[in-house]
Amino acid sequence: MTDDAKAEGAPLIRLPEPSRTGAVSLEETLARRRSLRAFAPDPISLQSIGQLAWSAQGVTDAATGYRTAPSAGGTLPIEVDLLLHGVPELEDGVYRYHPVEHALRLRLPGDLREAVTASTMNQGFVGDAPVVLALSAVAARTEPRFGALTARLIDMEVGHVAQNVSLQAVALGLGTVVVAAFREAELAAALELAEGERPIYLMPVGRAA
Ligand SMILES: Cc1cc2nc3c(=O)[nH]c(=O)nc-3n(C[C@H](O)[C@H](O)[C@H](O)COP(=O)(O)O)c2cc1C
């Protein structure tokens, strides 16, 4: 079965409306952001999961489809998957974020934490987090416009996305760390990414243990 066929089989799960205001200032999130690698196992609420996904790639201009993070030429190469475990409303598995609908779609049911952690040369804390974001890129969306610059632009773009998520996590009373040390092919296989989708960052998110 192709990835698309699988995706079509699962329904879209609408996420709660994201908050556009918050009690924690931007300056406070900057001052408090620190890489977190010891996670409490408590599950994260669906509201917070939606907020994290929105901070990564939420649509903030319906007319253009532009997002919370900037995108080279508006080519939007980034895809966000979320490994979710213990969320009361959702079965465990890997979900793809659909920005236009602000919704999730289950791609892979089950517990993939062990396989994903193994791909990071066993950085064990990755599997301890109740939520792991996987940021991947589809270079074919950006290449027609930017050619040889594409890889560089995509890496920059993922950096913007990851910083949004890092600061949003702090504002939600959570923490995260960006993880780039992984075997790319092994991680892509574990996440069953489509041909042409390249994983760039993992971001385990949770409350500090
Ligand atoms: C490109 C990049 C890749 C990183 N990869 C990893 C990683 O694979 N594992 C990890 O534990 N931390 C990783 N980090 C986090 C750094 O170790 C961390 O940012 C650094 O120690 C400074 O700590 P701070 O984030 O609390 O300021 C990475 C950071 C960057 C910018």
- Model confidence over 112-167: pLDDT tens digits? 999 999 999 999 999 999 999 999 999 999 999 999 999 999 999 999 999 999 99
Q: How far apart are CA 56 and CA 135, in angstroms?
A: 9
Which one of 3.40.47.10, 3.40.109.10, 3.30.70.2860, 3.40.50.300 gives the CATH number of domain 3-206? 3.40.109.10
For the stretch 111-122, pLDDT in tens is: 999 999 999 999
Atom of ligand 1 nearest to the CA of 34: 26
Ranges of H-type helices in 25-183: 26-32, 46-57, 113-119, 125-128, 143-146, 150-171
pLDDT band at 9 (very low <50, low <70, confident <90, very high): confident
Ligand 1 and 156: CB distance under 6 A: no
For the stretch 47-70, pLDDT in tens is: 999 999 999 999 999 999 999 999
The structure's pTM equals 0.95
- pLDDT of residue 8 exceeding 90, the answer is no
Structure tokens, 35: 């890489």
Say how many Å lie between the CA of residue 200 and the centre of ligand 1: 13
- pLDDT of residue 36 exceeding 80, the answer is yes
Ligand 1 and 180: CB distance under 6 A: yes
Secondary structure of residue 197 in the 3-state scheme: strand
The percent of residues above 70 in pLDDT, for the chain, comes to: 96
> For the chain, which residues make up each domain, given as ranges?
3-206
Residue whose CA is at the smallest distance from ligand 1 atom 23: 35
**What is the pLDDT at residue 84?**
98
